[in-house]
Amino acid sequence: MIKSFGNKTKVAVFISGRGTNFKSLFYFSKKKKSKVQICIVISNNKYAKGLDFAKKHNIKFQIYTFKNSLRDELKVLQILKKKKIKIICLAGFMKILSKEFIKRFKGKIINIHPSLLPKYKGLNTHIRAIKNKDKFSGATVHFVTPKLDSGKIILQKKVKISKIDTENTLAKKVLKIEHKLYSAAIEKILKKV
């Protein structure tokens, strides 16, 4: 059960790179009717561009390499508990969390994946869709379980794959829908609370 504090549900965003989904979640959190507040960003990459955005907007962030996964996960769990985090949003986070970590936050970790799951779990989703001559690709927001990209689907959206699409052009199309889809999925979860 996800409970909110005041009118806002406290959220942590985990990133590894550019953080474009993190940015769109941030702008979503600033909307008048938004019920979420991003309290912390966790990254496994000190060079992640998304951290510059966090600095610019005074969002606290922590960097853990996850080289010693157990130790770093324990530290992250302490921070999340201290900040009363209720939802973890994985946004291009390129580390696989342990079963133990996921169990602690069961039903409260969500991820966005650039394919129409259950198709194309894991990496290189766009090139796989093109090589298989799929007519559509898209994005999926799902709950995180210990099994990679296999949790219950919250929302999905399709994009048409054109004959001239490359891995890059398809990635751009999918990323565009990801930004709207992620915030819509969070709204859907919170409505059920």
Q: Edge-to-edge, what's the strand order for the sheet holding 61-63?
A: 61-63, 36-43, 9-15, 87-91, 109-113, 136-143, 153-160
In this predicted structure, what is the pLDDT of residue 95? 93
Q: What is the pLDDT of residue 2?
A: 47
Q: What is the pLDDT of residue 191?
A: 81
pLDDT at residue 6, rounded to an integer: 57
Whether the CB-CB separation of 138 and 112 falls below 8 Å is answered with no
CA quadruple 105, 22, 80, 96: dihedral sign: positive
pLDDT of residue 70: 92
Q: Facing residues of 112 across strands?
A: 141
Active site residues: 113
Predicted local distance difference test score (pLDDT) of residue 5? 46
Low-confidence ranges of the chain (pLDDT < 70): 1-6, 192-193
β pairing state of 136-143 and 109-113: antiparallel
